[in-house]
Amino acid sequence: MIILGQTYGQLGNRLAYLRTYLSFALEYKVKILNLAFDEYGKYFVCSNGRMITLPLVMSVVFRKILLFLVRFGICNKNSSWLSVMEPDNTGIIDLKDSNTIHACAHNNVLTYNGWPVTDFMILKKHDDQIKNFFTPVDTILNKVRLFLEQARCACDVLVGIHIRQGDYREWDDGRHFFHTHEYVSIMSRLLDMHKGRRVRFVISSNEEQDWDLFAGFDYRKAPGSAVEDLYILAGCDEIYGPQSSFSGWASYFGSVPLCWIRTPEDFDRAVKVME
């Protein structure tokens, strides 16, 4: 069994992180105790014999106990009852390594640090089960479906715009932060790209906007809940936004073309993959 003792980032990162471990577990018939989903677990079906997800309070308490044992050396990489799986010097946990595969299949292993990497074909092989596992519960799914049904009425192309500001002002020295007027400029160019078609935008933003700036567009505001916004983007025809695991998961889950905008200047070159 693998015990996941790390809450890695926000929703998009958690989903990508768990996708890798769950694919690995399905491939090698390993069980996983998931202590990494905490506040998000209640929003998902999470029905799979390979991964056990505990209720929030139990998950938090159990994780703190385990990390206490690690901190004081009671649990380490040489422990026979629960060994600690440590990342390499680049921060990677290599799930392709034969020793790692053997350890996870035959022992109880705790991971509390590092990003997992496995074979891409293993990820693809188990896509259907992964997507079933991370399907939102009915209360959220019904809201998403209703929103998309109404948003698609009288339009030819539904374009998701992911505005990530907030923490992006500081993260990675602000390299992925764009001002609202830059998103507006991108949307204008998208209208040119889809000339002759009825384009409607779905705008998901992690902070409140001056919506008057979008007055020239046919658009719908996403509800603002992280889970609802994520799966609404997954139901669009195209997604545009800065580099983010959030839009990355939406693209993966909905099999939707995604264009990450790294700089406004290279937008014209970037959208060629969408044409």
How far apart, in whole angstroms, are the C-alpha atoms of residue 230 and residue 249? 8
How far apart, in whole angstroms, are the C-alpha atoms of residue 241 and residue 244? 8
Nearest Cα residue to 199 out of 182, 183, 218: 218
What is the residue-averaged pLDDT of the chain?
A: 92
Q: What is the DSSP letter of 235?
A: T
- Give residue 271's pLDDT: 55
- Give residue 144's pLDDT: 98
Q: What is the DSSP letter of 117?
A: E
Q: What tokens does 209 get?
A: 């906007």
Q: Using CA atoms in the order 204, 207, 208, 214, what is the torsion angle rounded to 10 degrees?
A: -40
User: Are 86 and 114 spatial neighbours (Cβ–Cβ below 8 Å)?
Assistant: yes
Entry pTM = 0.92
Q: What tokens does 3 get?
A: 């015990």
Summarised one tens digit per residue, pLDDT across range 141-160 is: 999 999 999 999 999 999 99
- Give residue 46's pLDDT: 79
Nearest Cα residue to 167 out of 224, 233, 108, 244: 244
- Give residue 273's pLDDT: 47
Q: Give the class (CATH, top level) of 138-274.
A: alpha beta
Summarised one tens digit per residue, pLDDT across range 241-268 is: 999 999 999 999 999 999 998 876 656 5
How far apart, in whole angstroms, are the C-alpha atoms of residue 122 and residue 107? 21
At 154 the three-state DSSP class reads coil
Summarised one tens digit per residue, pLDDT across range 31-61 is: 999 999 989 989 998 766 788 888 889 999 9
The pLDDT averaged over each successive group of 10 residues in the chain (275 residues) is: 92 96 95 92 81 88 93 89 92 95 93 94 95 95 98 97 94 91 93 95 96 96 96 97 96 95 65 51
Q: What tokens does 10 get?
A: 């926000």
How far apart, in whole angstroms, are the C-alpha atoms of residue 228 and residue 233? 9
